[in-house]
Structure 1
Amino acid sequence: MQQARQPVLRDIVLVGGGHTHVGVLKRFAMRPEPGVRLTLICRDTHTPYSGMLPGYVAGHYTYDDVHIDLRRLAEYAGARFFRDEAIGIDHDARRVLCRSRPPVPYDWLSINIGSTPRMDALGGAPEHAVPVKPIHQFNDRWQTLLRRIEAHSGRTRVAVVGGGAGGVELLLAMQYRLGRELAARGRDPAELALALFTRGESILPTHNARVRAQFRDTLARRGVEVHTATEIVDVEAGRLQAADGSWYGADEIVWVTNAGGAAWLRDTRLELDDDGFIQVDDTLRSPSDPRIFAAGDIARQVNHPREKAGVFAVRQGRPLADNLRAAVTGRPLTPYRPQARWLALISTGDRHAVASRGPLCLSGDWVWRWKDSIDRRFMARFNDLPPMTQDTMKATAPSRVVLDEEEHDQAISAVAMRCGGCGAKVGASVLSRALSTLAPVAREEVLVGLHAPDDAAVVRVPPGKDMVHTIDFFRAFIDDPYVFGRIAANHALGDIFAMGAEAQTATAVATVPQGLEAKVEDTVYQMMAGAVEVLDEAGCALVGGHTGEGSELALGFAVNGLIDSGSVGESTEDDGRAGMALMTKGDLRPGQALILTKPLGTGTLFAAHARLGARGRWIDAALESMCQSSRQAASCLREHGATACTDLTGFGLLGHLIEMTRPSGVDAELDLSALPLLEGAEETVAAGILSSLQPANVRLRRAIRDPAAWVEHPRYPMLFDPQTAGGLLAGVPAEHAEACLAALQALGYTRAAIIGRVLESGEAQEPIHLRG
């Protein structure tokens, strides 16, 4: 996480990870604008480069070859990455409305979300046809089709609707790949029948006659049926209907036409064209809201309309970045005029391509190699990023952002030497505004809390209950305060659940970097909104807290829980009172199975993320695991007779297991091959990327019998990897272990695993045995 060198003064929010926005991120990475914070909101962590998609379908490229890692690029640019989907704009409050997180405020907004297939008006199309966009959904269906072709014997009919360059190129790529898959299995490629449908009088209507002729010949030579002047008006399972009433059989239907703007744009104030695309002027700014820009396929330049082609989205990266920079610093915007002619390199599925520009038509294998070279150079600009070092995050120059008088005074206060003690508290008005819309769950035991604030909360302990207390606090390791809030709350609640207790109340303590009041207020709101969601889900009432200024964002909770009085030392195994006994670390018993409810690897993955050494999807999976509550897992473990339990945090698996074996007077055996790992963790460990806490944890290797025999095992370092919001480690009777594991997986803990067993204490001093 790159720390701001000065207060955030303005927010530029980028909605969508299209070709233009990746160019904006790269330009701001190369030349940051002091005082300006970028935030990228995108549903997908990996965005495909459309120019290489046919090559990916044809099998010439891997998934990573054709995708830009947005999370990694955002980290490189010092931008926040919010993995979510925009669904609206609050123009008056200047906020982006999101599907599954609080609204995101902006000072300037840019939209680059591409086009959306318009299939709703066509009967049956949404159910029975596969749109090529959004591409992530097409990829899922494409992989399914590949598997089905492999398993299916007999004739398969594939129809592509759309006769532009995109439809023709995709059809030829599919034919090439599917044909090779059939041949590789000793089957006849003639089992595959492809047809192309277009309502136009010819295919590739925006290209010259020679290019069209080349592709007509190619399609005919490869046995593809081409239906021009054929408008599809209805789709059913296994067939589609043309406007003249004719029906055509098709087992798979791919839709590459009738694209328009996203439906949610219709509910904004933005001026749209007839197809729902955002109208923009020569500076790429909306004439109906001067604080909003748009680019790529979602935009239509009023004075310079052009075909929807990737080349324009790529070329708009520089002018959009320059105009966003100018807008935020109060300088004049610069008009951008797109080229009237452009080079299109259209592949034919195999390693052959056609070059088209105006009247020009060139073809050959060399054209494909030329295209391949151009495409790979383009992708290298965004994927081959230098590692992050201390030199990378050098101090920035003074900000050029234009501020009003009040903001100017706040900015001076934020960068000046701040008071310590109570002077470091976040202002009461800022805090009250940030928390005013949050609605913590209500509990009848809370007599004085946030609903009636006072100097301290007053909470009644219900009759027959004992209190369980815990506290956790740590600094942010991601730039998304909402997700960080969710993880921090989960991390703190883990201790309560591991004890077999019910969470009752929580008080928060947070530090927030100094800045303009509006920026501090939103950070507090986003972070606490995420935390309160998790606390509410656990039935835990937030009753108070303290927020102060600090150099880094950090959050922690003191959590109180409830357990039945007199349950300490009682056993669910002995008396059958599932859910009533307190689970402690010191009650492991020989013969029990060791169950871990979540995979390991958060330490190494986030160390790698900070150095640009982790793929975005690895971080996505890690965050998803960290956001998963252990509440149901704890209940499941108790129901299956668990007597001892702990949650994995900073000491890592080995450290926490030692904390269990010593007071229990037992040994334990771990199966390294059974350890569940987060995707990418083994790769980052192999690359030597470890958490800063790892060396301290490694000192515990003296508890391992014959550690030298295991030090070269690829999973050995994972014993010491510190976890954040990690899983529960529990001892469960061996006869119940498989049933417990199945129940955990049914509850959504899909990576839960039996990782070892509890042994009688041996004569050796080392309590931990390993096997591979």
Structure 2
Amino acid sequence: MMNLPLTRDLVLIGGGHTHALVLRMWGMNPLPGVRVTVVNPGPTAPYSGMLPGFVAGHYSRDELDIDLVRLARFAGARLIVGAADGIDRIAKTVSVPGRPPIAYDVLSIDVGITSDMPQLPGFTDHAVPAKPLGKFASCWESYLNTAQNPQVAIIGGGVAGAELAMAMAHALRDRSPKVTLLDRGTVLSALGDTAQGKMRGALKTQGVKLVENAEVVEVIEDGVLLADGQRIPSDFTIGAAGAKAHDWIAGTDLDLHDGYVTVGSDLRSNDPDIFAVGDCAHLAFDPRPKAGVYAVRQAPVLFQNLRAALSGGKLTTYKPQKDYLKLISLGAKSALAEKFGTAMQGPLLWQLKDHIDRKFMRQFDDLPAMAALKLPRTTALGMAEALGDKPMCGGCGAKVGRAALQSVLADQFGDDAAEIQAGQVISTDHLRALTNDPVAMTCIAATHALGDIWAMGAKPQAATVSLVLPRMSPALQERTLSEIMATATEVLNKTGAKVAGGHSSLGDELTIGFTITGLTDAPITLAGAKVGDAIILTKPIGSGTIMAAEMAGKAKGADVIGCLELMMQGQARASEILYDAHAMTDVTGFGLAGHLRGICDMSGTGAVLKRDEIPMMPGARSLCDAGTRSSLFADNVVGAGQIQGPSFDLLYDPQTAGGLLATVSSDSAEQMLADLKAAGYPAAIIGEITAGETIKIV
């Protein structure tokens, strides 16, 4: 299939229900030429329908969350983990703290609402807003695991507050909890008389105390103060009242209604290039309450209208339903159903709600497998073997193996960087993109290339940049180059290096490389390891496995983002701490075993690795045990030579921007390790240099 150039940028702010469904639809039917970007504060988006069940203990956190990393991969989108805080409609950019502006041609906003109450004294310091859901879910999980004599107060007696109160009372039922639901008026006033009566009965059954006509004046560390002088004891206070739009939306100068983006029946704001959906939107043409059911039903219309806006097509109309079936959790596995003023409750309704919620979430768990590459009927011999049984990994997983390089380069194969003159070293490295985000990829590629300089004990001096951009329009070329060069300049300048130029071209995929020089009085090489030295590793291993799993849709989003963050961690301070190392390298494409083999071969030594001391990235061990391997794994097994002892496949996992691997005097190892940990490195002493040539693991 022809690799068509990118010509338009679609940016989705927020991973709400509508956007999640749009991403799934996009993966099934993408619009050629569009680069999709999703901006969300975290790698997951909690599903509001299952939140009360999660709080009550009926669902796990994994069951609650939509994995946006996996969904973005399926949709071919780049995920930017960060909270958008502004839109420049003139420049057509979105601002996210800590990175260059993100350009858009068409933009959609689905950020929900917040129940934060910063104007209430003490709320910011001593309370947790029920929305956004992600932060609340994490805080509740922590409280549930530690509470001894639980006293909970919920400010806001609407349906959401009542659901949470009953869910918390149920989850804490074995600890004699005191759960109080406060409202400045009458609780559950939005429900009909029948439904309200049943809900009040359910609250009483769960032991929830109601305090109505309560004017909260302050939240303190151990309670809530009311205007009449009462103090409601609480060691976990939740704000579920006064839901409002996010403050930053007011700065967009879009037409707003009470802070919410006003949209027409096509879900478009007064700016024709900006759409808004879900709770953050106000349906001016047919106002509706804030409810997830409307967001879900907006998804097909938004999908069609985004495609139309990006391709010059005709927009369609969204028609919200007049009413909908409200299914409200009652703490235990029972629910209340209300529609058109009629209400009933019971376990069967919980089963119905559970069925509906799980069916919704299965859409994001059971993503269709992408069709395998279809080969021509007749190909050259060796085609199947060359392609392998999985897509080629990005990053160091796409490198040439150690055995092949050693065979070809012979006596030129060795240290990480070359000393071109006394006190000056040089190295070059480039990476095939393993993430669609040019900013994250630039940071990783720069950190990776700098690793060779740091491994020599040198300080970076100057760098040139080598770029291959995917085929794209001149406008997108400029946008992408701006993001890459701003990031490269920032990362390199922090190390003391200057960007001295570079080269760019267009190709099939994003590739970023750097040639870097460094200065040092005495380069640390592979050849200096001494028998008895302790072996220190400054970062955990597992990035090749995690990123291979991410490509296959098997890795957890949180593990993927954690892996990317570790790749972006610079090693400048670690290099300084390890200044007295006898031998040092950085663990990259050849894996831990291959790079340790390089030290041992050049130093004429062996080594013993302590398997239980080797740090691993979260998720890497379980993925490896389940059979996930990088496409470079087999080559690395050959390149590392024989390793004695129990099998441990992560030894051969190719790392991208991995940690420094240093051999140091056993007398100074513990102090160096302490200094590394104090500097923020997840370092460990993983073994010892031994006599002979054998590497073994114990």
How many Å apart are 1:465 and its aligned residue? 6.2
Report the secondary structure of 1:121's partner residue.
Answer: coil
Amino acid at match of 1:300: H
Give the 5 Å matches for 1:598-613: 598-613=539-554
- The aligned counterpart of 1:489 is 446
Give the 5 Å matches for 1:317-716: 317-391=299-373, 466-564=423-521, 567=522, 582-638=523-579, 641-700=580-639, 702-705=641-644, 710-711=646-647, 716=648
How many Å apart are 1:701 and its aligned residue? 5.1
- The aligned counterpart of 1:212 is 196
Structure 2: how far apart are the matches of 1:11 and 1:28?
Answer: 14
Choose 470-479 or 523-532, whichever is displaced more. Answer: 523-532
- The aligned counterpart of 1:770 is 697
Structure 2: how far apart are the matches of 1:148 and 1:118?
Answer: 24
Structure 1: how far apart are the matches of 2:489 and 2:598?
Answer: 31
- The aligned counterpart of 2:239 is 255
Structure 2: how far apart are the matches of 1:70 and 1:497?
Answer: 34
Amino acid at match of 2:129: P
Amino acid at match of 2:217: V
Whether the 8 Å contact between 1:486 and 1:533 is mirrored in structure 2 is: no
Amino acid at match of 2:696: H
Structure 2: how far apart are the matches of 1:508 and 1:328?
Answer: 33
Change (3 A) 1:110 1:4: farther
Give the 5 Å matches for 1:25-44: 25-44=23-42
Amino acid at match of 1:303: F
- The aligned counterpart of 2:180 is 195
- The aligned counterpart of 1:158 is 152
Structure 2: how far apart are the matches of 1:243 and 1:339?
Answer: 41
Structure 1: how far apart are the matches of 2:120 and 2:40?
Answer: 28
- The aligned counterpart of 1:227 is 211
- The aligned counterpart of 1:398 is none
TM-score, normalised with respect to structure 1: 0.82
- The aligned counterpart of 2:163 is 169
Whether the 8 Å contact between 2:170 and 2:206 is mirrored in structure 1 is: no
- The aligned counterpart of 2:256 is 272
Unaligned 5+ segments in structure 1 are 183-188, 395-463, 568-581
Whether the 8 Å contact between 2:150 and 2:172 is mirrored in structure 1 is: no
Amino acid at match of 1:722: P
Whether the 8 Å contact between 2:167 and 2:331 is mirrored in structure 1 is: yes
How many Å apart are 1:247 and its aligned residue? 3.8
Structure 2: how far apart are the matches of 1:643 and 1:701?
Answer: 21
How many Å apart are 1:755 and its aligned residue? 0.9
How many Å apart are 1:304 and its aligned residue? 1.5
Amino acid at match of 2:635: A
How many Å apart are 1:140 and its aligned residue? 2.9
Change (3 A) 1:725 1:701: closer
How many Å apart are 1:235 and its aligned residue? 2.2
Whether the 8 Å contact between 2:52 and 2:167 is mirrored in structure 1 is: yes
Report the secondary structure of 2:85's partner residue.
Answer: strand
- The aligned counterpart of 2:56 is 58
Whether the 8 Å contact between 1:110 and 1:294 is mirrored in structure 2 is: yes
Deviations, residues 431-465 of structure 1 (Å, cap 9, x unaligned): xxxxxxxxxxxxxxxxxxxxxxxxxxxxxxxxx96
Structure 1: how far apart are the matches of 2:133 and 2:374?
Answer: 34
Report sequence identity in percent. 43
How many Å apart are 1:392 and its aligned residue? 9.9
1:721 aligns with 2:653: yes
Change (3 A) 1:752 1:479: same
Whether the 8 Å contact between 2:169 and 2:208 is mirrored in structure 1 is: no
Change (3 A) 1:468 1:280: same
1:760 to 683, 691, 696: 691
Structure 2: how far apart are the matches of 1:605 and 1:386?
Answer: 21
- The aligned counterpart of 1:426 is none
Deviations, residues 581-621 of structure 1 (Å, cap 9, x unaligned): x2111111111111100011111111111111111111101
- The aligned counterpart of 1:92 is 90
Change (3 A) 1:54 1:335: same
1:305 aligns with 2:299: no
- The aligned counterpart of 1:737 is 669
Whether the 8 Å contact between 1:84 and 1:101 is mirrored in structure 2 is: no
Structure 2: how far apart are the matches of 1:245 and 1:266?
Answer: 36
Structure 1: how far apart are the matches of 2:127 and 2:454?
Answer: 46
Deviations, residues 700-744 of structure 1 (Å, cap 9, x unaligned): 353323xxx523xxxx11111111100000011112222221211
Structure 1: how far apart are the matches of 2:243 and 2:275?
Answer: 20
How many Å apart are 1:136 and its aligned residue? 2.3
- The aligned counterpart of 1:179 is 173
Amino acid at match of 1:698: V
Report the secondary structure of 2:12's partner residue.
Answer: strand
Amino acid at match of 1:162: G
- The aligned counterpart of 2:226 is 242
Report the secondary structure of 1:668's partner residue.
Answer: strand
Structure 2: how far apart are the matches of 1:320 and 1:363?
Answer: 34
TM-score, normalised with respect to structure 2: 0.91
Structure 2: how far apart are the matches of 1:603 and 1:387?
Answer: 21
Change (3 A) 1:695 1:16: same
Structure 2: how far apart are the matches of 1:23 and 1:637?
Answer: 49
Structure 2: how far apart are the matches of 1:4 and 1:38?
Answer: 19
How many Å apart are 1:330 and its aligned residue? 1.7
Amino acid at match of 1:353: A
1:746 aligns with 2:684: no
Amino acid at match of 1:656: H
How many Å apart are 1:213 and its aligned residue? 0.5
Structure 2: how far apart are the matches of 1:70 and 1:725?
Answer: 24
Structure 1: how far apart are the matches of 2:438 and 2:227?
Answer: 52
How many Å apart are 1:216 and its aligned residue? 0.8
- The aligned counterpart of 1:46 is 44
Report the secondary structure of 1:116's partner residue.
Answer: coil
Change (3 A) 1:602 1:164: same
Report the secondary structure of 1:539's partner residue.
Answer: coil
Change (3 A) 1:107 1:497: same
Structure 1: how far apart are the matches of 2:266 and 2:215?
Answer: 37
Structure 2: how far apart are the matches of 1:377 and 1:4?
Answer: 36
Report the secondary structure of 2:575's partner residue.
Answer: helix
- The aligned counterpart of 1:449 is none
Amino acid at match of 1:331: G
Choose 501-510 or 135-144, whichever is displaced more. Answer: 135-144
Unaligned 5+ segments in structure 2 are 377-420
How many Å apart are 1:33 and its aligned residue? 1.2
Structure 2: how far apart are the matches of 1:538 and 1:389?
Answer: 44
Amino acid at match of 1:521: E
Amino acid at match of 2:128: V
How many Å apart are 1:633 and its aligned residue? 0.7
Structure 1: how far apart are the matches of 2:112 and 2:577?
Answer: 45
Whether the 8 Å contact between 2:532 and 2:688 is mirrored in structure 1 is: yes
Structure 2: how far apart are the matches of 1:583 and 1:344?
Answer: 68
How many Å apart are 1:530 and its aligned residue? 1.9
